[in-house]
Structure 1
Amino acid sequence: MARKRIQETADILQDAIRRLAPSRRDVDTEGLRRYLGLPEHDGFVDDGRVAAALTEMRGLKEWAAKGAGELAKAAPSLRWSEGENGTVAWSVRVCLPLLDDGRMELRLMLPPTPQMLEILHGMAVGNDPRHRLDEFKAEVNRVERETGKSMHRVVNRLREDVRADLAEDGSDAATYAEHMDHALRSRQYGFSPDLVRTLPGKFKELRARAKKLARHDAGIRNLRERVGFGTYIDKFRAARGMARHIVFHMGPTNSGKTHAAMERLAAAGKGAYLAPLRLLALENYEALRDRGLNAGMVTGEEVFGNKGATHVSRTIETADLQHTVDVAVIDEIQMISDPDRGWAWTNALFGIPAKTLILAGSDDALPYVRRAAEAANESLEVVAFERKTPLVLLDKPVPLEEVKAGDAVVAFSRQAVHEQREVLVGLGHTVATIYGALSPEVRRAEAERFRTGEADVLVTTDAIGMGLNLGPLQRVVFSALRKYDGKEDRPLTNPEIRQIAGRAGRFGHHDVGYVAATTEEGIDPIRKALAGAPAAPAADSRFYARPDLVAISAAASELRTESLHEVLTHFAQAAFYEGSPFQPSDMDAMLQAAEMVDRTRLNLAQRFALSMAPIDQRDELSFQVLKGWTEMLASGSGVPALRGNPLAELDHQERTVRLAGAYLWLSRRFPDAFDDADRMRQVRARANEAIERHLQETATKRLTKRMTVAHRG
């Protein structure tokens, strides 16, 4: 019934519109009914009222579209919003500054006075923002003055509170004022009799939050200054105190760039070689020693040679950033872009105090090297090296059945390596095996078996990319072009393909090196990589950096916490300012370990050392061993060496070798607790022997079985 009556009223209004304004097609009948205040059951409407309403509604619509905005410009204190049927809602904003410079405005919103509403109505109906404008402005000014007087006492109280906060915060005052100003600009208080009573309480909450934010910001600034990442380069005082000359030996694998660098190092009175792998450090230590030099070696696990050695071979993480040398060589400098370990190359590049710093690596590192030299204001010389033997891509696939003596088959997981070596043994080959889980000693022994011909084929991961002498290797065959990098399964980058492929055709053994793929699909990506296609642009090309103990201690002090996990979690936010050329390295493993060691009563330095222990934390058993060692260290008892089991399976032996390395690493940091290092070296040696024995036996046993069967036949 109600709907029927509303429709009847609408029909009556439509008839009136057709009589009074036949050209109008845009009239909202329902809006007109509400504007006239007609009840739904009216059966009669005066044409005069309708005509007047239509005129006013048109004027209001035009007013809302243009006139209201013009008035707001003429009277900046006014705020307005458009409602239905062209109506405009008005309010007056009164700003009461709390500081002499006009900042920290307290913004109050007041409704228009009756006089304002009368003038506004006249402006709206006539769509004339100049209608009695001076009178209107005078009324607005009067409201602002009266509001200021009525709020005088409470505003003065708020000003005193703010001044007290500024005096108390001292160096943080500017930041406090900035936060307060921002908070007040985002708030508008409706004026009411209760406002004077409630405002101090609301204001107290804002002040407390501004103080907290100011102190946090100040803590971040102080932390940034104390840990040194605001001026990261300057923290390497020994290097900054000398005019270093940087020489970049830039070239592909098998170009002689590292050999040339080692020649200069050997000729120097005092020098250092920095390697990405313990195996490389060992090989070059032996090479320096064989030249008759007083050589030494330092890794995370061990120290060889005389204490006063003039030429020291090191793993990159153990770089000496204090003592000056004549020549230092940093090998595989392109690893500076690695999220996990790149921090070590960053430290060495900026921090090694060498008169001449020689970098050896691929051209992918050139942008980093140039930026580093510019940032440190040091001279840079780039020496380009060309590959000594050509590298040729075969345009047809080489399946495993066509692998021949002198080939290396490359896979990208331990499982794939073992599967393919079994296939190749079944095809009549003797196989040497190299992959990342093997110790440097076993990798070296397996490389020796291939080099001497005891094994005619090598099956390997990208572990052959650095630090192995693979003399007779003439052809590299990729069985895959994807790898799991610890976080995701991804295609190999062009530099990675070039690094691995470049091991084929070693100068002095072959006149040419060959590269192939086991499938047709693998040929084109290799072709693009060998043609010199650059790596895809990095999403973030900043230098990786990682906190040291000094930085960790400063952060803990600034954050007022003893939690290593909390310090590491906040470190990236605190230490690396926006626009910094540095970024935090991947600290996921450290964070996992920090969460565990924080449950002990060990001091911060001890917990930090444990968090960096070289444990594969993806291996739950290894992580549990670290947890047990941590608990023993915290209890004050000695940590015994692991018990070896020479009859255990291969994966057990590999884990034993890795854990032995971690134990020896910790024994250099906690010699009183990890005091069974000699026995642990024996355990590691026996595990390595078991691994090598297993690899040798399985490399020939299928072949032997096959030959026996053939002989019987």
Structure 2
Amino acid sequence: MARKRNHLTTDILADALHRLGIGAAAVDREALRLRMDLPELNGFVEDETVAAALRDGGARRAFAETGVAALRSTIPALRSEPGRDDDRVWRLRVSIPLLDDGRLDLRLDVPPGETAAEILEEMALGNDPARRLDDLRAALAETAAEREGTLRRAVARLRELIRDDLHEIGADAPTYIAPLDRTLRARVFTPSPNLAHAIGDTLKTVRTRAKVVAREESGRRRLRDRVGFGGYIDKFVPARRLNRRIVFHMGPTNSGKTYAALEALARAQTGTYLAPLRLLALENYEALLERGLRAGMVTGEEILGEPDPSHTARTIETADLRHPVDVAVIDEIQMLSDPDRGWAWTNALFGIPANTVIVCGSDDALSHVRRAAEAAGESLDVVTFARKTPLVALDAPVPLESVQPGDAVVAFSRRAVHENRETLVAAGRSVATIYGALSPEVRRAEAQRFRDGEAEVLVTTDAIGMGLNLGPLKRVIFSAIMKWDGTATRALTNPEIRQIAGRAGRFGHQDEGHVTATDDASLGPIRDALAGAPTAPAADTRFYVRPDLIAIEAAALELGTASLAEVLAHFSRATFYDGSAFQPSEMEEALEAARAVDKARLPIREAFAFAVAPIDRRDAISKAVLDRWVQARAAGASVPALRASVDGELDGLERTVKLAAAYLWLGRRFPDTFDEVEATKLLRSRANAAIEAQLRKTASQRVAARRRPRAMA
């Protein structure tokens, strides 16, 4: 009923806009209704009231675009983020030192106070960041003093406890202070009835840990640091030279968190965007170009764009950890916890040399990001984003025969995707198909067919979870909630369900997104996940790391070996001491590859490149091709471009595309050996075209023959 009243209200607002000579389509009437605080109308609204609301909204938007930044530069302690409609939510950052020399700042974000709020409102309505500036400073100083006064006893007690600890620790005081400082720099407290207790409880645990660290025998710690990853953070010298600020854009899919980060990136003089997928790197490279920026793209396989770009889009494994930039955006930060690829996010989070590092991801990653900021001794600000459209779990399952245009059916294996695809095509639906074995180019083309309506239904794996614009997608239907993770078949985690389900109901296309399954048994876990049920805490919360070439060559020299397999085995078992914040990435596949590459007796840096080359090591044919390439490199021979037919079956074409990508990846590292790059690019393009042609041809070829007299609903 409320929704019906709201529709009536927006229709009445449309009439008022027409009387004012303003096209109703040009105004977000629902936002205007909320700004005017009109729950319902009885048939009329004064034109001047609407005009005034429009003027206020315009002034607030203008102030958000220019005035907020000017005011922040004048009063850095003021914090601002978008509120409802065009309003701003203001906070005052209050810093209270806990040591006599001004160190160990306790940071609070508090409302600016009634007087300051009135002045900020006047500034917004007049788009004048200089209006009553001295009055604003005085009001904020009064608010800060009042807040410090309420915590005076708690702060005095904390200071006394810290002084006692320092007396007990003695000469190791700097070692004790460092973790306390990191914790405080990574945390901002907000007002609550039990704020003093919350601060005390937070620091009690950290103080205990800091004393243990300070007492640890320093010689043994230095020795472990030299042979392992104890000094991992410090090895990123360019990043450590900067006083980096980490900002976590935290929110679910379809919340605008990445869009806001890219807006900040585009405004910066220099910057980089780090993507989990080549497809995302390509899309954001194109977005940077469209903004008129001097942009470039770097992936493992290719370099595009300007020779000396001001802004780059990169796959995260190719992050430039040497050259400083103003802003870096790290997308899908929750990938930190991935055993195979998490090392790349760890490297970027600790090592990207940027004044501001904006990380984007779900709230599941908050503990990781906060611990990283603490470990690096850097400040952390968390900006929370809410989903722009509701995501609703349906009450009933939707079997395949009831799938409708605009639906996506999700499975978790290539075989299951094709089975679902065949069932839907036979039943009269035209389909687009996306799964991980398809190249980024084909996935993009299939997504485009779905967006354009050429394909009614999308049949996919969790490959849709990142990096695809799926426009009209309204319902996500899980045909399974179990997946093979490379080790075992397991249930999807709640974050995984939310990530995939969140692609439904894209803002600007749908009013809300719907999520369901093809069977009753799967509905419960989906409802729990969408309701925000937490995932059980991970047993091991350390950061994944992988040795780089410098570490590998140093270890080879220390161990007196030329065997890459021996060096990797050393890193996996001997370099992580108890209490380390780091752990080795999943190395079994790399170790197996290293043992094979060692037979060719290549220099260890070359062996490492071949061991991590991006091929499907589960595929015997691909492994045999890589072995031939290794032998050619060892013999000093060049490797000709791939020779393959583009008239075969899908699995063969997919293999051709992957091997072509691996050839190009190796060609960037060994251009004298892999010297037929253009021919390989041409083959990859032809194979991609053949895959897309097959998918198009079979997307609806049986529709005419099998279409039932009554179409599916």
Superposed displacement of residue 228, structure 1: 6.0
Q: Deviations over 1:24-60 (max 9, x none)?
A: xxxxxxxxxxxxxxxxxxxxxxxxxxxxxxxxxxxxx
2:636 is aligned to 636
Q: Does 1:704 align with 2:704?
A: yes
Could you tell me whether the CA contact under 8 Å between 1:222 and 1:558 is conserved in 2?
Answer: no
Q: Distance in 2 between matches of 1:221 and 1:231?
A: 10
1:466 is aligned to 466
* Residue identity in the other structure for 1:412: F
The TM-score normalised by the length of structure 1 is 0.68
Q: Does 1:519 align with 2:519?
A: yes
Q: Distance in 2 between matches of 1:707 and 1:290?
A: 43
Superposed displacement of residue 284, structure 1: 0.3
2:367 is aligned to 367
Q: Distance in 2 between matches of 1:521 and 1:400?
A: 15
Could you tell me whether the CA contact under 8 Å between 2:340 and 2:585 is conserved in 1?
Answer: yes
SS state at 1:641 partner = coil
Q: Distance in 2 between matches of 1:530 and 1:422?
A: 30
1:232 is aligned to 232
Q: Deviations over 1:662-710 (max 9, x none)?
A: 1100000100000011111111111101110110011011113335999
SS state at 1:570 partner = helix
Q: Deviations over 1:523-543 (max 9, x none)?
A: 000011001112221121100
SS state at 2:599 partner = coil
Could you tell me whether the CA contact under 8 Å between 1:223 and 1:575 is conserved in 2?
Answer: no
1:610 is aligned to 610
Q: Decide which structure has the larger Cα Rg and report it.
A: 1
Q: Distance in 1 between matches of 2:413 and 2:512?
A: 28
* Residue identity in the other structure for 1:458: L
* Cα 1:669–1:223 shift into 2, 3 Å: farther
Q: What do you get for the CA RMSD once the two structures are aligned?
A: 1.6
Superposed displacement of residue 584, structure 1: 0.1
Aligned positions, number:
492
Could you tell me whether the CA contact under 8 Å between 1:223 and 1:555 is conserved in 2?
Answer: no
Q: Deviations over 1:88-133 (max 9, x none)?
A: xxxxxxxxxxxxxxxxxxxxxxxxxxxxxxxxxxxxxxxxxxxxxx
1:401 is aligned to 401
Q: Distance in 1 between matches of 2:649 and 2:427?
A: 25
* Residue identity in the other structure for 2:338: D
Structure 1 segments (4+ residues) deviating >6 Å? 220-223
Q: Distance in 2 between matches of 1:424 and 1:223?
A: 62
Could you tell me whether the CA contact under 8 Å between 1:250 and 1:257 is conserved in 2?
Answer: yes
* Cα 1:574–1:222 shift into 2, 3 Å: farther
* Residue identity in the other structure for 1:644: A
* Cα 1:380–1:624 shift into 2, 3 Å: same
SS state at 2:388 partner = coil
2:77 is aligned to none
Superposed displacement of residue 487, structure 1: 1.2
Superposed displacement of residue 226, structure 1: 4.6
1:265 is aligned to 265
Could you tell me whether the CA contact under 8 Å between 1:474 and 1:505 is conserved in 2?
Answer: yes
2:411 is aligned to 411
Q: Distance in 2 between matches of 1:346 and 1:601?
A: 31
Could you tell me whether the CA contact under 8 Å between 1:646 and 1:690 is conserved in 2?
Answer: yes
Superposed displacement of residue 245, structure 1: 0.5
Superposed displacement of residue 222, structure 1: 8.8
Superposed displacement of residue 589, structure 1: 1.6
* Cα 1:384–1:434 shift into 2, 3 Å: same
Q: Distance in 1 between matches of 2:460 and 2:223?
A: 46
1:437 is aligned to 437
Q: Distance in 2 between matches of 1:364 and 1:706?
A: 46
The TM-score normalised by the length of structure 2 is 0.68
Q: Distance in 2 between matches of 1:601 and 1:555?
A: 17
SS state at 2:701 partner = helix
Q: Distance in 2 between matches of 1:279 and 1:328?
A: 18
* Residue identity in the other structure for 1:563: S
Could you tell me whether the CA contact under 8 Å between 1:494 and 1:534 is conserved in 2?
Answer: yes
Q: Distance in 1 between matches of 2:699 and 2:533?
A: 37
Q: Does 1:452 align with 2:459?
A: no
Residues 181-260 of structure 1: pairs in structure 2 closer than 5 A: 225-226=225-226, 229-260=229-260
Could you tell me whether the CA contact under 8 Å between 1:273 and 1:329 is conserved in 2?
Answer: yes
1:580 is aligned to 580
* Residue identity in the other structure for 1:408: A
* Cα 1:301–1:226 shift into 2, 3 Å: farther
SS state at 1:701 partner = coil
* Cα 1:393–1:653 shift into 2, 3 Å: same
Q: Distance in 2 between matches of 1:453 and 1:709?
A: 22
* Residue identity in the other structure for 2:532: G
* Cα 1:224–1:281 shift into 2, 3 Å: farther
Could you tell me whether the CA contact under 8 Å between 1:477 and 1:518 is conserved in 2?
Answer: yes
Q: Deviations over 1:540-570 (max 9, x none)?
A: 1100000001111111111111111111112
SS state at 1:433 partner = strand
Q: Deviations over 1:313-352 (max 9, x none)?
A: 0000000001110000000000000000000000000000
Could you tell me whether the CA contact under 8 Å between 2:427 and 2:707 is conserved in 1?
Answer: no
Q: Distance in 2 between matches of 1:250 and 1:503?
A: 17
Structure 1 alignment gaps of length 5 or more: 1-219
Could you tell me whether the CA contact under 8 Å between 2:270 and 2:325 is conserved in 1?
Answer: yes
Superposed displacement of residue 606, structure 1: 0.6
Q: Distance in 2 between matches of 1:596 and 1:226?
A: 29
Residues 11-410 of structure 1: pairs in structure 2 closer than 5 A: 225-226=225-226, 229-410=229-410
Could you tell me whether the CA contact under 8 Å between 1:224 and 1:230 is conserved in 2?
Answer: yes
Could you tell me whether the CA contact under 8 Å between 2:428 and 2:708 is conserved in 1?
Answer: no
Could you tell me whether the CA contact under 8 Å between 1:474 and 1:513 is conserved in 2?
Answer: yes
